Amino acid sequence: MATRTAAKSSTSNGSPVPLGSQPFLQSVNQYFDKAAAFLDHPKGLIDQIRVCNSVYYMQFPVRIKGDIQVVQAWRAEHSHHKLPCKGGIRYAETVDQEEVEALAALMTYKCAVVDVPFGGGKGGIKINPKHYTVEELERITRRYTVELIKKNFIGSSVDVPAPDYGTGAREMAWIADTYQTFEKENINALACVTGKPVGQGGVRGRTAATGRGLYFAVREAVNDTALMKRLKMATGLADKAIIVQGFGNVGYHAAKFLQEGGGTIIGIIEWDGAIVNPKGIDVEALNEHRMQTGSITGFANGKTVKDGMSVMEMECDILVPAALESQIHNGNADRIKAKIIAEGANGPITAVAEEVLLKKGIYVMPDMYVNAGGVIVSYFEWLKNISHVRFGRMDKRFEEGSNTRLIDTVERLTGKSLTMQERTFVARGADEEDIVNSGLEDTMISAYHAIVNISNRDPRIKDMRTAAFINSIDKIAQSYLLLGIFP
Ligand code: NAD
């Protein structure tokens, strides 16, 4: 495999792109091949699972500042073994077909690993959103949606986008509104996209879901006594030193929940610099500072480090790359000193770099599992949209009544009474966010143990990513076999 020494350049949005590092799609396929070698499915079936089923490349005109600009965009549907396809939409200058295909493939494997019954998809528009006004971004987003509609690349039963790097609830609301304009008679039109604002058919808990899911994944790992013994670490999150790269949706929420869970956030890295404080960074205060100044740099309660990438190489217990792909490559892998890496971003470690990390004894928790919280809760949002009722609406009051009757019975039988505060706490019925967060937690915990059980079954499977890929590929293969396509 051809790899060159990595050097850094900077795109105009400030994101350092490691030059010469392994291409993203090649990296994903290398991970896939490594795992597929442990399975004895027919070669044709494995090939079918690996390839991208369809890609739509489009170029469309948009009026920008009085001129016409031709915008390039893609939507890839990696797998149709389950429908709809599901995956985010990215706005970045680095977007190209290979990146979209790699991300779509990861979505297929991710959905399978956490039992979300979707195929993988991904979309991207090759723009730097920072260069456009909100009105221009809206025009680009709506035009992109129309292109998807024209080619049947969007719809609640076909392909359902979501937010990704450079997009959020605002863009998802524009997509939903455009789609609904064309699909007035379609009662499930709102389910054409997830990650919408709650007032526009979104689900409570979606925005924080990926970071929250990452926290559940890390919590499971640090409470795994066998793993902690192997890594010579104390169990639990308390006092674990954590560094997070990327302070966007995933990175901010991951840092927040890891801190609330007892971890110490000693470094946060953004494209224009990093903040370091060995005693711990107050995540909420840093977020406040960023909102006021537009940057994390200059934060009073920590040291600003201009070369943010150097902070990735600092000693820590847990490193969370949550910005972009290929951040740990063959040019810096040997300098990484973390004991555990939890991939918040998609593809932050190239396959070649991972071999270096594994040799150093670093435990890598793969993106396809660790950052699956977003798609898990997107699935819940889609279910809410097609069932047309908020979670908890039908049973919250009934549950509270049952709990109250139970408390009354216990009090009568024991002769003791709960305080009003205790009674309210115990009797409370679950609302939408409770149900969503509980479903997310349960899925992340079950998936962790399913993956770890695979490595426990076969001593040749030494890393978590290979185990996760085996779990995923096997489920997709079974699905194809049940469809009757491969006799
Ligand atoms: P985002 O746009 O909200 O945040 C990304 C952050 O990374 C931004 O603050 C950006 O300034 C920063 N950044 C960019 N280049 C950087 C660099 N070189 N060093 C440090 N920081 C840098 O995006 P997001 O939604 O948080 O997505 C981040 C990653 O997580 C992507 O790989 C995405 O595919 C993946 N992901 C996102 C979700 C989701 O629900 N949003 C779900 C799964 C995976």
Domain boundaries, the chain: 11-47+204-388+433-487, 54-200
Question: What is the spatial distance between Cα 167 and Cα 223, in angstroms, rounded to a whole number?
Answer: 34
Given a cut of 70, whether residue 6 has pLDDT beyond it is no
Q: Does domain 11-47+204-388+433-487 have CATH number 3.40.50.300?
A: no
Of 79, 35, 28, 45, nearest in space to 471 by CA: 35
pLDDT at residue number 239: 85
Rounded distance between C-alpha atoms, residue 312 and residue 75, angstroms: 32
Closest listed residue to residue 237, CA positions, set 211, 218, 251, 256: 218
Q: Which two tokens stand for residue 437?
A: 């967060």
CATH topology match: 11-47+204-388+433-487 vs 54-200: yes
Q: Is the pLDDT of residue 467 over 80?
A: yes
* CA-proximal residue: ligand 1, atom 4 (nearest): 248
**Averaged pLDDT for residues 311-320:** 98
Distance 172 CA to ligand 1 centre (A): 17
> Side chain identity at 464, as an amino acid letter?
M
How do residues 415-425 score in pLDDT, each as one tens digit? 999 999 999 99
Task: Determine if ligand 1 sits within 6 Å of the CB of residue 165.
Answer: yes
User: 151: which DSSP letter?
Assistant: T
**pTM, rounded to two decimals:** 0.93
24 lines ligand 1 (CB under 6 A): no
Residues 386 and 191: beta-carbon distance below 8 Å: yes
Nearby residues of 125 by Cβ (< 8 Å), 6 or more positions away = 71, 72, 73, 89, 90, 91, 95, 140, 144
H helix runs in 277-345, sequence order: 283-293, 308-312
Instruction: Round to whole Å and give the CA distance between 85 and 146.
Output: 18
Average pLDDT over residues 300-329: 97
**The CATH number of domain 54-200, selected from 3.10.129.10, 3.40.50.10860, 1.20.1250.20, 3.40.50.920:** 3.40.50.10860
CA distance 377 to 212: 11
**Can you give the pLDDT at residue 112?**
98
Strands 159-163 and 85-91 come out as parallel
Nearest-atom index, ligand 1, CA of 247? 9
Which residues, at least 6 apart from 190, have a Cβ–Cβ distance to it below 8 Å? Answer: 156, 176, 180, 196, 200, 201, 385
Q: Is 324 in the pocket of ligand 1 (CB under 6 A)?
A: yes
Cβ–ligand 1 distance for 247 under 6 Å, the answer yes
- Mean pLDDT (the chain, rounded): 94
Give mean pLDDT, residues 71-79.
Answer: 98
